[in-house]
Structure 1
Amino acid sequence: MSKIAFVFPGQGTQYVGMGKELYENNEIARKEFDKIFSNLDMDLKAVMFEGSEEELKDTKNTQPAIVAMSLVLEKLLREKGIVPNYVAGHSVGEYAAVGSAGFLTVEDAVKLTSLRGKAMSEVSAQVEGSMAAIIGLESDKIEEALKNVDGIVEAVNFNEPKQTVIAGEKEAIGKACITLKEAGARRAMELAVSGPFHSSLMKPAGEILKTALEEFNFNSATTPLIGNTTAKEITDVDSLKEELYRQSFGPVKWVDTINTLKEAGVTKIYEIGPGKVLNGLIKKIDKELEVVNIEKLTDLD
């Protein structure tokens, strides 16, 4: 029997006004958003619905905004009787997966995301780091070439077979882009991000997060979560805490995650949240998988 997975997008998919249509036109969505907003020490509603693009792009705002919208949409999809066999999320999308899997309540999943965003924002401001997307070169060749680059630079997001993101020290990223083009990459472009996310430079953020995790009341999962750093099933709380800690300075193995879902019998994937980024990546990993985007009320109809 074919299985279903819910997947949730990461940073970069945000836009001003995200979630406003849901809030204004659906009573369930409004109630869920209000629970989320009242559980935070920031005015996320104003940032999402009326904020400036600059404000929304700030990591400490971006991350809870994406997870909040994703989890409200997830609730509406479940109301239609659609239930996942597995969940996964790309980078900060893993926090929406935490809520979807039943490890935390929706409002606590967003609150934890907010703490993660603040920790990453603080650490990013202290390190001279950046990221770059490498297109048209296999990940094993990228990792091999990076061994010859001076400074800290690591392959961190394995997005699809020929698209990998690297992160590290700003100067090392510049050198790596030149080296990787020489090694055969079609494109090597620095990204407009505020820090070297998922690299070892972010380990201090992981330490802050590790302490914050103890403040939350976790439950065992009702749905298995496929972890970013291992691409393996997680259902118990201790394994999840270890994953969230390591994920803040460890890789997003998205290709392996999708392959794990396929091997587990998943044939249909719902991408839940802003944008259609994961749809494109999944199609490049495995064309046979059916991907349905859930972003607006019309998608739910």
Structure 2
Amino acid sequence: MRKLAFIYPGQGAQKAGMGADFYENSPAAGRLFDEACEALDFDLKEICFKENEKLNETQYTQPAMVTTCLAMTRVLTERGVRPDMTAGLSLGEYAAVAAAGGLKELDAILLVRKRGLLMEHAVPAGEGAMCAVLGMTGEALERELKGMADVTIANYNCPGQMVITGKTEAVRAAAEHLKAVGAKRTIPLNVSGPFHSPFLQTAGEELRKEIEKTKLHPLRIPYVANVTAEKVERREEIADLLSKGVSSPVKWQQTMEYMIAEGVNTFVEIGPGRTLSGFLKKINTEVSVYHISSWEDVERAAGELC
């Protein structure tokens, strides 16, 4: 029996032109882009569909990604492809909550616009950094970082791939130490701050105030939260988990393992890039994985999943 999950990528997967073919081919997807443009204080379609520098700025990336992912979701569900559960990596969690029914699509888009601004302004430019660490287990990385000041784990992505975060000099020193004790590679990430670190706790508290102004709805299906790697079924839990997510580690590997233990055997990654599909191949080779980033992908997936 098939049990299906929609999963959504986070910041970093964005690319110029994303969603343009959905806008052109689907009235439902087109309406969401148009509604987002009207509600936001910038031209979202210009940022998503054309080459520009703003697409990689956090305050614009976040609403652009969530709008694109939810427009794609509209098309999939219209074709009869519906999930039993959802999850999203970091930013992608907002698309997951909306797809599960906890947020209206436009409310999710407006929330991540505020989230992006709060995150961008949380730490002065140059004072925070993130770095991917390859070839270490989570337990080994936790052990090596214990006692180090101003650096923590940001992401547990998949076996052998994690991310550290914190103050710039602390992250640089930790990366050198980790290479010396067995990490295969450490790769500095091109980000504007120490995301998913305690330094963003104040941003999370401000975000909580914004979420509390937003109407949350009963969930139609569960989603799995980054903070706990466990399913959420009550709307009363949403605000706390989303606000904590800004400064807490993203437990993505644990999220996928939890969903598989819950019986999910088919995953549909919705959004640009194939990052999550790549992680899944390293987490479990037995599940089926589909990827939706183009109109042709929808035709193929709908034909096999309906």
TM tier, smaller: over 0.9
Matched with 1:15 is 15
Identity across matched positions, percent: 39
The answer to whether the aligner puts 1:262 opposite 2:260 as a matched pair is yes
Matched with 2:203 is 205
Alpha-carbon shift at residue 25 of structure 1 (Å)? 2.5
Matched with 2:303 is none
Partner residue of 1:244 out of 221, 242, 245: 242
Alpha-carbon distance in structure 2 between the residues aligned to 1:42 and 1:251: 31
Alpha-carbon shift at residue 51 of structure 1 (Å)? 4.8
Alpha-carbon shift at residue 16 of structure 1 (Å)? 1.4
Matched with 1:42 is 42
Q: Are 1:63 and 1:92, in contact at CA under 8 Å, matched by a contact in 2?
A: yes
Alpha-carbon shift at residue 126 of structure 1 (Å)? 6.0
Q: Which moved more, 1:26-35 or 1:132-141?
A: 26-35
Matched with 1:145 is 144
Alpha-carbon distance in structure 2 between the residues aligned to 1:33 and 1:42: 12
Matched with 2:32 is 32
Q: Which moved more, 1:232-241 or 1:290-299?
A: 232-241
Alpha-carbon distance in structure 2 between the residues aligned to 1:127 and 1:88: 31
Within 5 A, what are the aligned runs for 1:103-114?
Answer: 103-114=102-113
The answer to whether the aligner puts 1:192 opposite 2:190 as a matched pair is yes
Q: Cα deviations across residues 47-92 of structure 1 (Å, max 9, x unaligned)?
A: 112351x211100011111111000101110011111110000010
Amino acid at match of 2:190: A
Q: Are 2:33 and 2:44, in contact at CA under 8 Å, matched by a contact in 1?
A: no
Q: Are 2:32 and 2:67, in contact at CA under 8 Å, matched by a contact in 1?
A: no
Amino acid at match of 2:80: G
Matched with 1:95 is 94
Matched with 1:169 is 167
Amino acid at match of 1:3: K
Q: Are 1:7 and 1:89, in contact at CA under 8 Å, matched by a contact in 2?
A: yes
1:269 partner SS: strand
Alpha-carbon distance in structure 1 between the residues aligned to 2:9 and 2:195: 15
2:265 partner SS: strand
Amino acid at match of 1:8: Y
Alpha-carbon distance in structure 1 between the residues aligned to 2:29 and 2:40: 17
Amino acid at match of 1:68: T
2:124 partner SS: helix
Amino acid at match of 1:34: D
Alpha-carbon distance in structure 2 between the residues aligned to 1:213 and 1:127: 28
Alpha-carbon distance in structure 2 between the residues aligned to 1:189 and 1:178: 11
Q: Cα deviations across residues 263-283 of structure 1 (Å, max 9, x unaligned)?
A: 111110000011110000011
Q: RMSD over aligned Cα, in angstroms? A: 1.2
Matched with 1:4 is 4
Q: Are 2:18 and 2:293, in contact at CA under 8 Å, matched by a contact in 1?
A: no
Within 5 A, what are the aligned runs for 1:258-297?
Answer: 258-297=256-295
Alpha-carbon distance in structure 2 between the residues aligned to 1:24 and 1:14: 19
Amino acid at match of 2:140: K
C-alpha distance 25-124 of structure 1, shift in aligned 2 (>3 A): farther
C-alpha distance 250-206 of structure 1, shift in aligned 2 (>3 A): same
Amino acid at match of 2:41: D
1:65 partner SS: helix
2:218 partner SS: coil
Alpha-carbon shift at residue 237 of structure 1 (Å)? 1.9
Alpha-carbon distance in structure 2 between the residues aligned to 1:220 and 1:257: 21
Matched with 2:74 is 75
1:220 partner SS: coil
1:125 partner SS: coil
Alpha-carbon shift at residue 34 of structure 1 (Å)? 1.2
TM-score normalised by the chain length of structure 2:
0.95
Q: Cα deviations across residues 105-163 of structure 1 (Å, max 9, x unaligned)?
A: 111111111111111011133671000000001011111111243x3000110000110
The answer to whether the aligner puts 1:156 opposite 2:144 as a matched pair is no
Q: Cα deviations across residues 176-200 of structure 1 (Å, max 9, x unaligned)?
A: 0011111210001211110010010
Alpha-carbon shift at residue 212 of structure 1 (Å)? 0.5
Q: Are 1:130 and 1:169, in contact at CA under 8 Å, matched by a contact in 2?
A: yes
Alpha-carbon distance in structure 2 between the residues aligned to 1:277 and 1:253: 15
Alpha-carbon distance in structure 2 between the residues aligned to 1:201 and 1:51: 32
The answer to whether the aligner puts 1:134 opposite 2:128 as a matched pair is no
C-alpha distance 107-100 of structure 1, shift in aligned 2 (>3 A): same
Q: Are 2:212 and 2:239, in contact at CA under 8 Å, matched by a contact in 1?
A: no
Alpha-carbon shift at residue 5 of structure 1 (Å)? 0.3
List gaps (5 residues or longer) in structure 2: 300-306
